[in-house]
Amino acid sequence: MYILGIDFGSKYLKAALCVRDYQTSGISVKKTVKLPHRASRQGTMIDLVKAKEVFGQMLEKIKCDINESIDEYVINVSGENVGSYSGTSTIPLWKQENEERRVRITRSHVNEVLKAAKMTAYNKDDKVELHSIPQEFQIDDQPATLNPIDMSGIKLKSTVYVIQTDKSHRENICSIFDSFGIKNYRLVFSPLATAEAVIDEDDKEAGVIVISLGDQTTELTVYLNGILRMSKMIPFGSNYITKDLKILLKTDYPTANRIKKTVATAFPGDADPEKMIQVENSSSQKTEFSEEYIAKITEARLKEIFEFVTREIYKGSYQRMIHSPVIITGPASCLKGTEKLFSEMNNSKTTCGKAMDIRSEKEELTPDFFTAAGLVKYAVVNDIFSDRDEAEEGGFMSRIKQFVADLF
Ligand SMILES: Nc1ncnc2c1ncn2[C@@H]1O[C@H](COP(=O)(O)OP(=O)(O)OP(=O)(O)O)[C@@H](O)[C@H]1O
Ligand SMILES: [Mg+2]
């Protein structure tokens, strides 16, 4: 059974055709395709005609040497109009007429408190939900639990993490599938998919921060005690470094991008102040700049991006987790010195993201395709294509998720 992960990035559409890997309960990538386009900016679609065009080209390339049909499609949603909010609510369990105030919690209590929590996370009528992820429950002053059913208490508190986007944004993405007659598809918030590609369930349980650097976006995801705590998209990325290099080195964009990939380091301490780099300028002459100067430009901009990320981590009060390994990934994390800079700024231990439970039949999967493959892994791990009956058979959390999904 084929599942296609489609990462509609700001400049490239990257797709990964995958199958479930029943041996590792992960996934196996059969084929990847990467195509340039001009259909979106900073993760948001701005030209639907061009989007459909490149989507069609991608489908042709993916399907050209497979015999079976594609069963499921998972596409990412990104952009500034995706927001994530935490909602918390407490409901009393007892009724006035009851003599015994302590009540045993049933599924309908859970249903009620999740619905109330979710209402507090909604902020606008023109928004539509992408994900709602239940957090812990708390009964009176007892320790938090993931499963409050059959426990007794007077009041029940719950928190739900809701990720929502504009209705029109969702409709635009859905219209691409509609125009190709594809029905079996799901939308997943991009940072969730990228994080899924580089972590496993043990990481989620132990607590992990994943930062993914893209061209026009930076993604941040935090898991703690096995539960998603935060997932955000910051609307700027590595292209700002290229733009700075272009201006300050007085060159064109492609040259600046090449210098970023081959010469630049985000850690000036590693650059040679004596080594001069020849840069072609717009009048075809060459100017020389020291490697250290190029590194300082690069460092300044990446520092700014990391400051945005750290601010979000602090806003969510997850700063303590910065000292456990932080995983940095994404195509732009290939910039030399990236992890070292984050590590020095935050006194943290950083590691480079590696594909987890994702096998690749040919060469090793590069960070370029982590989001595309992560979309498929997210769909498999969270069983997002299963219907209600299947979800009922699953664990408690999947049933809870189904409750929440059914509430609206
Ligand atoms: N070796 C490298 N060193 C430095 N930067 C790199 C390297 N390889 C790729 N990059 C940068 O990574 C970015 C990759 O862009 P691409 O559009 O593929 O990312 P993306 O994750 O799809 O973007 P987004 O999700 O923001 O739309 C570019 O800015 C590119 O210059
Ligand atoms: Mg991306």
pLDDT of residue 408: 45
pLDDT of residue 320: 87
pLDDT of residue 398: 53
278 HSE (CA, 13 A, CB side): 4
361-372 burial: b if 16+ Cβ within 10 Å, else e? eeeebebbbbbb
Task: Determine the 3-state secondary structure of 177 from DSSP.
Answer: helix
376 within 8 A of 18, measured Cβ to Cβ: yes
pLDDT of residue 394: 42
Low-confidence ranges of the chain (pLDDT < 50): 388-395, 408
Q: Which ligand is nearest to the CA of 14?
A: 1
- State the Cα–Cα distance between residues 388 and 399, nearest whole angstrom: 8
pLDDT tens string 225-277: 899 999 999 999 999 999 999 999 999 999 999 999 999 999 999 999 999 99
Rounded distance from Cα 214 to ligand 1 centre (Å): 5
Q: Alpha helices of 64-154 — where are they, by DSSP H?
A: 107-121
> Which one of 217, 238, 267 would you pick to mutate in the ligand 1 pocket, going by the greatest count of ligand atoms within 8 A of its CB?
238
Smallest Cα–Cα separation from 408: which of 128, 138, 185?
128
Rounded distance from Cα 342 to ligand 1 centre (Å): 18
Q: Where are the beta strands (DSSP E) in 249-402?
A: 276-280, 286-290, 326-329, 350-352, 358-360
Rounded distance from Cα 372 to ligand 2 centre (Å): 9
Query: Which fold would CATH assign to domain 82-164+388-407?
Result: Dna Ligase; domain 1 (3.30.1490)
- State the Cα–Cα distance between residues 72 and 378, nearest whole angstrom: 13
- State the Cα–Cα distance between residues 132 and 341, nearest whole angstrom: 34
Residues with CB under 6 A from ligand 1: 9-12, 43, 214-217, 237-239, 242, 257, 260-261, 330-332, 334-335, 368
Rounded distance from Cα 333 to ligand 1 centre (Å): 8
Task: Determine the 3-state secondary structure of 342 from DSSP.
Answer: helix
401 HSE (CA, 13 A, CB side): 25
- State the Cα–Cα distance between residues 217 and 158, nearest whole angstrom: 31
Q: Which atom of ligand 1 is nearest to the CA of 43?
A: 27
> Which one of 10, 188, 215 would you pick to mutate in the ligand 1 pocket, going by the greatest count of ligand atoms within 8 A of its CB?
215
377-387 burial: b if 16+ Cβ within 10 Å, else e? bbbbbbebbee
Q: At 288, phi and psi to the nearest 5?
A: -110, 140
pLDDT of residue 27: 95
Burial of 53 (0-12, 13-18, 19+ CB in 10 A): middle
- Considering the domain delimited by 201-354, tell me its CATH architecture: 2-Layer Sandwich (3.30)
Predicted TM-score (pTM) of the model is: 0.91
How is the chain split into domains, by residue range?
82-164+388-407, 201-354
CA distances (Å), origin 238, targets 216, 234, 251, 256, 257:
6, 12, 17, 12, 10
Q: Which atom of ligand 1 is nearest to the CA of 239?
A: 29
- State the Cα–Cα distance between residues 398 and 386, nearest whole angstrom: 10
